[in-house]
Structure formats: structure tokens, C-alpha cells
Amino acid sequence: MKDPKAVLAADVTGAFQVKASGANVTITVSMTGYTTSTLTVPTNKEIKVVLAESSTGLGEVVIMGYGQQRRSTVVGSVSQINGEQLKQMPAMNVTNMLAGRLPGLTTLQQSGRPGADDATLRIRGTGTYSGGAAPMIIIDDVQRPSFSNLDPNEIESITILKDAVSTAVYGLQAANGIILITTKKERTNAPW
């Protein structure tokens, strides 16, 4: 390897190959959403690297439609809050926890009666499509009628898509905006 600090990309299965001369090679493996791992490996040896998930790098990533983008490349109007910030609000219902936490989202709680304490959510005011003007709700890539029964401890992040650029993937049914919710996933770590 001519360049001692060359950057290589793995294929779709995560396999990569490094050609180097010398006794040992230092390799740094990184991916968005995972911790970076640096290894010193003898040449001519096959290795397997398993990265641990990390939520610290997720602040740089915004969930968009059917994928994710770096925050710096987002063109549309998007607001996001993570689960830890959400739990700082003392409320029994997740819809009420969003009050005043995301720009462009208006909440209105009309009842405090148990079981009927959901807040009405509007993204950038009242829309014109389908009369109700309720935003489309997507939980882990599945459309749902509500998210008020979700446990706040299970939420990884909530993203609000507010304009036509952000919501175009979903078509007319998303004319009143979209609330994308990502729940926490199982994290497996080696026992050592």
C-alpha cells in the first residue's frame, strides 16, 4: 500500500481487503451509528470486526422517508428529537410530550380525562387535504393511526417532515406532514 492512510470502502456484505507490506497494519473501521474500532493486525491474516452500536453519532443523521441522511445534506424542512430529550418532559402521553419541543408542530390538548388526553397535532397549521388535517404517522416504516399508546422509553427518535420536499416520497396522503417514529432496537454486545 503506497498511501499509509488510505481510505477503503467495504462491499455490501462488509468484506474488504487491504494490500500492505510490513509486519503489522493498523486498521480503523467506522460506520455512522456505530463506534469506531482501531486494530493492529499482522499481515496475511483474515480478521472479523464487529462494531457496537452507538447513539452518539445519530445526532448527525436524520431519518428521511425510507432512509436516512446526514443533517448537513438535508434540503427539506425537518425537525427531530431523540428519546432522551423526549423523556425530560413530564407527561403521561407521548403526544403531550411533544408540546413546545419541535418547531412547526402545534399541539392542542382538549381534555384531561384518562383515555381521552391525546393532543391534536398539526404540522405548520391546518391543511386542506382530507378535512382532518392530521399528519401521517409512520412507526418503524409502518403507517399507524396513532402513537399515543407508545412507551416513551421505547422511542429512539421522532422526526417531523414538514414540507413537500420532505414528504414527496409518501404522496398526497402526507400533505399535512409526517411524524416518523423510530423505536429502539435490540443491542447485542460480546460478553467480553
pLDDT tens digits, residue range 131-162?
567 888 889 888 898 888 888 888 898 888 88
Chain position carrying cell 399528519 = 135
pLDDT digits (tens, 9 = 90+) for 38-96: 888 887 778 888 888 876 555 566 665 555 555 544 556 777 888 888 888 777 788 88
Its sign, for the CA torsion 50, 54, 60, 64, is positive
39/122 same-domain check: no
Centre a 10 Å sphere on the Cβ of residue 31 and count the other Cβ atoms it contains: 14
Specify if 89 maps to a domain.
yes
Specify if 190 maps to a domain.
no
**CA 110, CA 107: separation in Å to the nearest integer?**
10
Residues 108-132 have a mean pLDDT of 75
Share of the chain above pLDDT 90, in %: 0
CB 105 within 8 A of CB 125: no
List % helix, strand, coil for the chain (3-state, nearest 5). 15, 30, 55
Domain of 12, in residue numbers: 6-54
45/83 same-domain check: no
pTM, 2 dp: 0.57
Q: Could you tell me the CA-to-CA distances from 3 to 18, 21, 28 in Å, in that order? A: 11, 11, 14
Show which of 16, 37, 54 is a domain's final residue.
54
Residues 12-41 have a mean pLDDT of 79
pLDDT digits (tens, 9 = 90+) for 162-186: 877 777 777 777 888 888 888 988 7
Strand (E) or helix (H) holding 38: strand 37-42
145/105 same-domain check: yes
- 126 or 56, which is more confident: 126
How many distinct structural domains can be found in the chain?
2
85/132 same-domain check: yes
Show which of 16, 31, 54 is a domain's final residue.
54
Specify if 189 maps to a domain.
no
99/149 same-domain check: yes
pLDDT, residue 104, reads 84
Alpha helices for the chain (secondary structure H): 83-86, 94-97, 164-167
Specify if 171 maps to a domain.
yes
76/48 same-domain check: no
95/116 same-domain check: yes
